[in-house]
């Protein structure tokens, strides 16, 4: 469950773009200091390590995105010594923008064992491992992908094909990048405005009777 608050903020998919995050966070604080994220903190942008640390330092509470989930599964398969599964998991991470995450922790070093060591020492493995796939309070749900009927954990991380179910609370999610926030009052909002591709990071400011959307400043550097 979310902490009890009259108003919360939820930030869209960040994907390693630290400067838009810092800028948007300053704007969010004008409305509330209870801040969440729909996940996908990492990959693509070059500042995944800084993004995770910023979330920790500022008590931003994400749900797990599919990119965090891919990384965790790669690490877990590496730990299990199942080389075939590990290679498959690692290739999946790298194909989906994970090279940038790798570099943000260990530079040009390509030793996955070293990456795991650094990722654990700085506390980021524990942080990512602790992320839930769904959060809720009395007026909304937060997930990475939209909640569909009979949703599995995989659906909450990956669904793009089925429209979200009409639930008893408002849904807020990301995962599928779009040019501007998709908002259906009383139903859902997709707030993934493709920050890595567009430079536009969006957030929803939500209360029991109102939803509004804000973005970072235009033309701000992605930190790439």
Mean pLDDT of 160-175: 96
Question: How far from chain centre, in Å, is Cα 148?
Answer: 19
Asked if residue 62 lies in contact with residue 124, where contact means CB atoms within 8 angstroms, the answer is no
Burial 15-30 (b: 16+ CB within 10 A, else e): bbbbbbbbbbbeebee
DSSP 8-state symbol, 10? E
Q: Report the alpha-carbon distance of residue 174 to residue 145 in Å, rounded.
A: 6
pLDDT at 24 over 80: yes
Neighbours of 215 (CB within 10 A): 21
pLDDT at 224 over 60: no
3-state secondary structure of 170: strand
The pLDDT of residue 5 is 61
Mean pLDDT of the chain: 93
The pLDDT of residue 220 is 53
Question: How far from chain centre, in Å, is Cα 86?
Answer: 23
Mean pLDDT of 133-141: 96
pTM of the predicted model, to two decimals? Answer: 0.93
DSSP 12-81: ---TT-HHHHHHHHHHHTTT-S-EEE-S--SSSSS-HHHHHHHHHHTT-EEPPPHHHHHHHHHHHHHHTT
């Amino acid at each position: 469950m979310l902490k009890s608050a009259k108003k919360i903020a939820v930030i869209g998919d960040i994907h390693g773009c630290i400067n838009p995050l810092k800028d948007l966070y300053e704007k969010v604080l004008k409305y509330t200091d209870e801040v969440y994220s729909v996940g996908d903190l990492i990959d693509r942008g070059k500042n995944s390590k800084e993004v995770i640390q910023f979330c920790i330092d500022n008590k931003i509470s994400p749900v797990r995105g599919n990119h965090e989930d891919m990384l965790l599964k790669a690490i877990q398969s590496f730990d299990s010594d199942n080389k075939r599964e590990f290679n498959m998991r690692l290739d999946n991470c790298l194909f989906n923008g994970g090279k940038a995450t790798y570099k943000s922790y260990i530079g040009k070093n390509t030793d996955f064992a070293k990456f795991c060591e650094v990722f654990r020492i700085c506390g980021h493995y524990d942080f990512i491992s602790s992320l839930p796939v769904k959060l809720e309070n009395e007026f909304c749900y937060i997930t990475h992908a939209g909640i569909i009927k009979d949703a599995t954990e995989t659906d909450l991380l990956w669904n793009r094909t089925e429209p979200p179910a009409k639930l008893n609370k408002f849904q807020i999610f990301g995962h599928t990048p779009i040019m501007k926030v998709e908002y259906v009052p009383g139903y859902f909002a997709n707030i993934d405005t493709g920050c890595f591709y567009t430079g536009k990071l969006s957030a929803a400011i939500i209360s029991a009777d109102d939803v509004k959307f804000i973005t970072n400043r235009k033309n701000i550097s992605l930190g790439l």
